[in-house]
Each structure stands twice: as C-alpha cells, then as structure tokens.
Chains A and B, each alone.
Chain A
Amino acid sequence: MDDLRSALEPLVRHPSSAAPPMEAIAARARARRVRRRRLRTGAMVVVLVGLAIPTWSLARTDHAKELSTAGQSQESQTPDTTVVDAPPPPPEPAAETDSPFGSTAPWLAAPPLAQADVPAFVASWNSDPEAQAQCPLLAPDDLGDGTGATARATDRGQPGAWWVEFDLPGANGEVDIQDPVVGAGRATFYVSAILIGDPSGGMSLESSVNRWPDVQTWDDGSMVGWGVSGDGTETPSQFDGTPTAWISYMKVQGSPCMYQVGSYLSRDHLVYLISHLRLVEGAP
C-alpha cells in the first residue's frame, strides 16, 4: 500500500516536523521536576499527618493508662486531684495546608457584590432565562494580574449559560472559541456557568470536577478542580507556541450548573479569580 505511505509521508518529511531545539526538552523536564517536587511535598505532609494522628492517639492512651495506674496506687493515700494535661491538638488536615483556598467557599466568606459593580455579568445572566433560574451569578470582586481588563458578556450560542470574558490588550487569549493565540488580547480569562443538559448522561458534576489533578471541596459541599486545559499536567508552554490555558470546573452546592473559570495568564491568576468569586445581590 505504497500510495497510503506516500500520501502520509509529507507528515514526516515536512520541515515543520523537525525536532525543536533540545533546550525546549530540557526546560520542560525542569518544569516536570518542579511539579513532582511539589507533589512529593504534598504527599509527605499527608504521610506525616497519617503518622502523627495514630502516634498522638497512642500517646494519649498510654498517658491515660499511666494516670489510671498512678491513680490506683495513690487512691488509698490521697484523693485524685491530678489534672490531665490537654493532649496536643492534631495537625491540620493536609488538604487545608496544600490548597490555595480556605475551607469555606469564597462566595460564602464575603458579602455579595452590587449588580452595578458587575454589569457584564448581569447582562449575560439576564439574557438567558434558563441560566437565570438555575445558575446563580458569581463574579470576581478583584481581577488580580488581570486588572485593567474589559469584561464582555459573551454569547457562546449556548442555551442555559451565562458567560463573561475579559479582554486584556496584548495578553494571550482566544480569537475564537478554543482558538488560543499569543497576544490575542481577547478572552484572556473568563467566568461562566452552564446548565448541564443531560443529567442521565451518567456524568455527575462531582465526577467531572474530580478528574482534575487538583481538587478542593469546601465545607458546604461546593467543589473546584483545576489544571491545564486538555491535560492534567502543567506545561510552561507548548513547542508550537500555543499559549496554555488554565481552567477549572466548579460545582456550586445547590446548583445543577457547571461553573468554569479559565485564565491564559497563569495558574496563580486562575486561583486568584476563584478565590475572589462573590455572589451578586439579586442574582441568587
């Protein structure tokens, strides 16, 4: 079948298939090492916590036994007035230490925003009655590294959704849906909510959120999972120059909608945006 071989051969022979410089491989390997180190640190914390709790329980049991024995031998001599020392508090759970978020969902830990402060969000929310009924509005009260960006209510042609994109001149973004371009200056970051259409499809909000490498569950049951779009690992850049998008899936307790926050600026910026999400007055 030489005709098939020759039809596909240009994929191999074309100059664009040539290997990028070795430095790109070395840089990517360094980024992987950093990520692994971070994961190892997290794992060590989990192990230490795992060891600390039983050790503390054991110590407490031994301490109680000692007191009990001592008490029995002293019973005949003096009344037991020993005050048991309070045991050391167990360490905080690892998830709390590792996560960039607190234990309370950000929008429950701060007062809501006024509608006048987030007109693009309100416009998008008002434009879709289905989303309005099911997907409470969440908007960031601060844009962090994205300060100066312009919010734009976006029509993604998606029923049951509200969607706001932020344009930041000169920054990476999307010129069209999922068409990432360096320096696009459009859709550099965004916040959205989409009513998941087919609950019988077997895909729950939780399982979707849980597929991401980093996941946080808040006290009220809301959740967020985040990472690099199209992948579960961080990549500093792609060899063909395509900018990297960090995105998150979020479940807001009580809503059947999938919330999504994304940023082309950085992982830290994505986390910042999520941390600053607030409810909006009159848009529950």
Chain B
Amino acid sequence: MLGSSEFETWYRDEHPRLLGALTVVAGSGDIAADATAEAFVRAFERWDRVSEMASPGGWLYRVALNIVRRRARRLALEHELLRRTRPTEEPPAMVQPEVWDAVRDLPRQQRVAIALRYVLDLPEADVAELMGVTRGSASATLTTARRRLAGVLAWHSRDEERIGYG
C-alpha cells in the first residue's frame, strides 16, 4: 500500500504516547488499548487524507478521545443496568499506585486535560482545542487538577528521595 511504511513509522512513534494518554483518560488499560487500536485503524483506512493534514496527531487524538468516551459510556450503562460489580482495575505496574489512584479519581475533564498536557506534552492552546473549550478554561482545568494532585505528588517525590538515599 502506498505510504504504508510512512504510516508504520508514525504508528510506532505515536502509539506509546496515545496509549499512555488514553490510559489516564479512561482509567483503564483495557479500554485504552482497544481505543488506541481502533483509532489507528481509522487513521490507517484514511491515511492518504490524514497524512496530508497539518496535524495528523491532532486528528488521531480527537478520534481516540471520542472512542474512549463512547466505550466508557456503554460500559457505564452495562454496570448501571445490570448492577454488576464494577471490575477493580489494577493500576498499571509502571505507575506509583497512589499517583494512579489520585489521577483516576479526578473528574473526567481534568483527566483529559492532564493526559493531553502531561502525557502527550501538548501546549495549552492545543489542549483547549482538543477539549473544545477556551484556552482560559483549559488552563483553569489544568490548575485545578494539578492542585488536587499536588499532595500525592509531593509524597511520591519524597518516596523517591528516600529510595535514592537508601
């Protein structure tokens, strides 16, 4: 396929970042992995057009966030309707459990903002655009989220220091 090697390079570069960001947004590694895969499939199908875009990554992130939102909604419906026990998701092994718990407890919008800003490393203007809000609103959401995480991050830093001294 024309441009398939170009796609593959882009896919390999973007995959870890997108998966990491969606894990934060979804609070679930399983949903994130599936949504990441689905988003790349859609990009693959339209690669001739997506590759010509000013920001293929921006398109990918938008699609992926929509997929996560849709899946999370359906899972919530399943849980609510069937009153099934919500599965307890293990924290990703590579993230400090207390950090993970604190991030997962953030409201969804704050998780999205944190994922876009601190996992995908996007500037605030891009975070605002992807979230469909003004830059001021995105900035305020990030500030609130950071404030909520400050405590646990301070503990996390101190732990790291202690490990370092040990």
Interface of A toward B, CB cutoff 8 Å: 1, 3-5, 7-14, 16-20, 22, 24-26, 28-29, 32, 156-158, 177-179, 194, 196-197, 201, 203, 208, 211, 229-232, 235, 238-240, 242, 247, 249, 258, 260
| Mask: chain B, 128-165; 1 = CB below 8 Å from A; 0 = not | 00000000000000000010010001001100000000
Residues in B whose Cβ lies below 8 Å from that of A156: 84-85
Indicate if B41 sits at the interface (CB-CB under 8 A). Answer: yes
What separation, in Å, do the CA atoms of A32 and B71 have in the docked complex? 17
From known contacts A178-B85, A208-B77, infer whether A4 and B153 are also in contact, taking CB-CB under 8 Å.
yes
B34 and A238 form a contact (CB under 8 A): yes
A4 and B34 form a contact (CB under 8 A): no
B125 CB to nearest chain A CB (Å): 17
B71 and A231 form a contact (CB under 8 A): yes
What separation, in Å, do the CA atoms of A211 and B141 have in the docked complex? 32
From known contacts A19-B16, A20-B37, infer whether A14 and B118 are also in contact, taking CB-CB under 8 Å.
no
A190 CB to nearest chain B CB (Å): 11
Indicate if B54 sits at the interface (CB-CB under 8 A). Answer: no
Indicate if B2 sits at the interface (CB-CB under 8 A). Answer: no
A194 and B74 form a contact (CB under 8 A): no
The total number of A-B Cβ pairs within 8 Å is 135
A240 and B30 form a contact (CB under 8 A): yes
Residues in B whose Cβ lies below 8 Å from that of A22: 4, 8, 11
Residues in B whose Cβ lies below 8 Å from that of A158: 83-84
A182 CB to nearest chain B CB (Å): 14
Known interface pairs A1-B118, A230-B74; 13 further A-B residue pairs with C-beta atoms within 8 A, sorted by A's residue number:
A10-B94, A12-B16, A12-B119, A17-B15, A17-B16, A28-B37, A29-B41, A29-B45, A156-B84, A178-B85, A179-B87, A194-B81, A229-B78
B87 CB to nearest chain A CB (Å): 5
Please count how many residues in chain B sit with their CB below 8 Å of the partner chain's CB atoms.
52
B156 CB to nearest chain A CB (Å): 6
Indicate if B40 sits at the interface (CB-CB under 8 A). Answer: yes
What separation, in Å, do the CA atoms of A9 and B80 have in the docked complex? 33
| Mask: chain B, 64-106; 1 = CB below 8 Å from A; 0 = not | 0000001100110110111111010000111110010001000
Q: Which residue of B lies closest to A12 (CB)?
A: B20
B74 and A8 form a contact (CB under 8 A): no
Residues in B whose Cβ lies below 8 Å from that of A229: 78
What separation, in Å, do the CA atoms of A140 and B86 have in the docked complex? 28
Please tell me which one of the listed residues A12, A18, A26, A211 contacts residue B77 in the complex, with CB atoms under 8 A apart: A211
What separation, in Å, do the CA atoms of A274 and B113 have in the docked complex? 43
Residues in A whose Cβ lies below 8 Å from that of B16: 12-14, 17-19
What separation, in Å, do the CA atoms of A49 and B105 have in the docked complex? 51
B119 and A3 form a contact (CB under 8 A): no
What separation, in Å, do the CA atoms of A10 and B118 have in the docked complex? 12
Residues in A whose Cβ lies below 8 Å from that of B4: 22
B17 and A7 form a contact (CB under 8 A): no
Q: Which residue of B lies closest to A36 (CB)?
A: B45
From known contacts A17-B20, A178-B85, A230-B75, infer whether A10 and B149 are also in contact, taking CB-CB under 8 Å.
no
Leading 4 A-B pairs by shortest Cβ distance: A11-B20, A10-B94, A19-B15, A17-B16
Residues in B whose Cβ lies below 8 Å from that of A26: 44
What separation, in Å, do the CA atoms of A237 and B78 have in the docked complex? 20
From known contacts A4-B114, A230-B74, A239-B34, infer whether A177 and B15 are also in contact, taking CB-CB under 8 Å.
no
> Could you pull out 7 A-B pairs where Cβ atoms are within 8 angstroms?
A1-B118, A3-B157, A8-B114, A10-B94, A29-B44, A29-B45, A235-B38
Please tell me which one of the listed residues A13, A28, A197, A230 contacts residue B78 in the complex, with CB atoms under 8 A apart: A230
